[in-house]
């Protein structure tokens, strides 16, 4: 949701610490890079065929994919199938939640962000 990946919880744990404690090594690594290298999970791709993603949940507008869509997220790619539902922000960027969820984009708890 755009939170600072370097911010500590009340008990002094970083998001990377929590990911590690829950056994999510890849997520820990991603969060450490985001915290210490000022990297964004929603960084646009240099590839013109890869669409940008967004975390602007309040702007959600429902769409249906007319073709396969490839969306950049967290250093990887999310594939949205043709005829699949997805949501975008006011600039047309695809809303992507944790673990690449998009219909709907969900938070870490699996609940919809929109």
Per residue in 77-110, pLDDT tens?
899 999 999 999 988 999 999 889 999 999 888 8
Cis peptide before 104, with omega less than 30 degrees from 0?
A: yes
Q: Are residues 25 and 45 in the same domain?
A: no
Both 23 and 51 in one domain: the answer is no
Q: Give the range of the structural domain holding residue 81, as residue numbers without chain letter.
A: 41-114
pLDDT digits (tens, 9 = 90+) for 8-65: 788 888 888 888 999 988 888 777 776 765 555 556 667 788 888 888 888 999 999 9
Distances (CA, A) of 81 to 17, 36, 41: 34, 34, 22
Q: 109 and 77, same structural domain? A: yes
Distant-in-sequence, close-in-space partners of 58: CB < 8 Å, separation ≥ 6: none
Q: Kindly report the pTM of this predicted structure.
A: 0.62
- Helix ranges, the chain (H): 15-21, 25-36
Q: How far apart are CA 26 and CA 51, in angstroms?
A: 23
Give the chain's domain count: 2
**Residues 24 and 53 occupy one common structural domain:** no
Q: Examine the domain organization and report whether 56 and 96 are in the same domain.
A: yes
């Amino acid at each position: 949701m755009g939170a600072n990946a370097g911010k500590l919880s009340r008990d002094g744990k970083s998001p990377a610490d929590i990911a590690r404690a829950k056994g999510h090594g890849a997520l820990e690594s991603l969060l450490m890079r985001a915290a210490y290298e000022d990297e964004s999970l929603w960084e646009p791709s240099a590839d013109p065929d890869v669409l940008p993603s967004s975390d602007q949940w309040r702007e959600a507008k429902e769409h249906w994919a007319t073709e396969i869509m490839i969306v950049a997220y967290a250093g990887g790619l999310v594939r949205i199938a043709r005829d699949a539902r997805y949501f975008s922000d006011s600039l047309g960027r695809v809303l992507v939640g944790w673990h690449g969820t998009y219909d709907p984009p969900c938070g870490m708890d699996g609940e919809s962000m929109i």
